[in-house]
Structure 1
Amino acid sequence: MTLDSIMKCAFSYQSNCQNDSSESEYIKAVYELSYLAEYRFRTFLFHSDLIFNLSPYGFRFRRALRTAHEHTDNVIKQRKASLKKDTELEKVKQKRHLDFLDILLYAKDENGQGLSDEDLRAEVDTFMFEGHDTTASGISWTLYCMATQPEHQNKCREEIRELLGGRNTLEWEDLGKMPYTTMCIKESMRLYPPVPGVARQLSSPVTFPDGRSLPKVFYVVTDIYKMVHTL
């Protein structure tokens, strides 16, 4: 559902992956890549590119990566083709805000040079992959928290019922008028962050108050989930 939504809103693409088996291949590839990346991280021998690439896991990783890239390339190709039509160009000109992909396609640097196909795919890959996967995780954990805390679930339900009145759907303006529901969503994301860890490579050495230090280019990983649940 989250992939269908982000594809429609950010890429002007009707994916219908909830019903179309060919589109769901991308979802399977995302699961496969996520699993293999985590498995490689936990397996010392696979830290070597040579060993990992020669292993069956490396083959699975490349196959899934190829599927993901083909999906991204297809989305970009279709959007480029549609923008060549006069009717579609008129729709774009009338929009108050461009879609994410349209912004990338029309982006130019100071020399009037647009993004290369490789740069374009990298940006779209990141937004498409992270945009739907983390959103799906956040929604799932929020629903879990609501299910385990029925008193808060009821308060959220009443708040939204009062806001809707006799309507069936929320409008954009309604999003700022549900403070209690917003607090519950934020608390769920605090307890179960969609991105449970953040990694950074040091650009300069770091020395801690106790005298210990980490060298430049060292990788540091912060486990957000563990920090929250330890406190």
Structure 2
Amino acid sequence: MSQARWIAILGDFKISETVIVSWIIIAGLAIISYLLTRNLKKTPTSKVQILLEFAVGGLYKLVNDTMGEKTVKRMPNIAPYIGSLFLFFACSNLIGLLGFRSPTTDLDTTLAWALITFFMIYVTGVRFNGFGYFKGLLEPIPFLLPLNIIGELARPISLSFRPFGNILGGAVIMKLFYDFLAYLSSFIPAIGSVPIGQILIPVPLHLYFDLFAGLLQSFIFIMLTMVFVGNAAE
């Protein structure tokens, strides 16, 4: 996979394909959110509101079970953040099904998400435990301080490269598979100009690499975020 293309270049200011697709996802989520929540009632009367309340309730239950009710009460905005992160992450992984380049195939995107989690860990730790939070780097013995620091720095690297590698790897495999099917189709004159094989055969692979792997990586990322931030709060 090549690097994301520059869509607009204004002097030293450049806008990449990754940024444009991210804006499209953000705009789409904002519009859908508005349409789904504009007619909410105190007592739900529509299936849409019932479904929304079920999803939001499930999200809060997941966050409470993972981070603990005490931590969630002290961080009232953490559940909306986790839900928004999951939606944006999942849509970024799945938008490749619509022919767009997934922002997750750009390391800048996953690194930005990982750094948000990384800084949130330390902000939460200092907020709830003071600067004594950093004493944990000296445990179990001060001699291990360098190794503990390396372990801390490995968190954003692991968080960013895991989804990046999985989604990019799937995109590369699908591109090679499509090229292989196009090559085979060229040997059949009757359908050489109609990529029938490229329409039907790759469906199972799309279900795995785009749908299953995309949603799985999104879920893993938010779970790790909740675990790391929850541990820092305790």
Same fold (TM over 0.5): no
Q: Give the TM-score taking structure 2 as reference length.
A: 0.29
TM-score relative to the length of structure 1? 0.30
By relative contact order (CA 8 Å, sep 6+), the higher-ranking structure is 2
Q: Which has the higher helix share?
A: 2
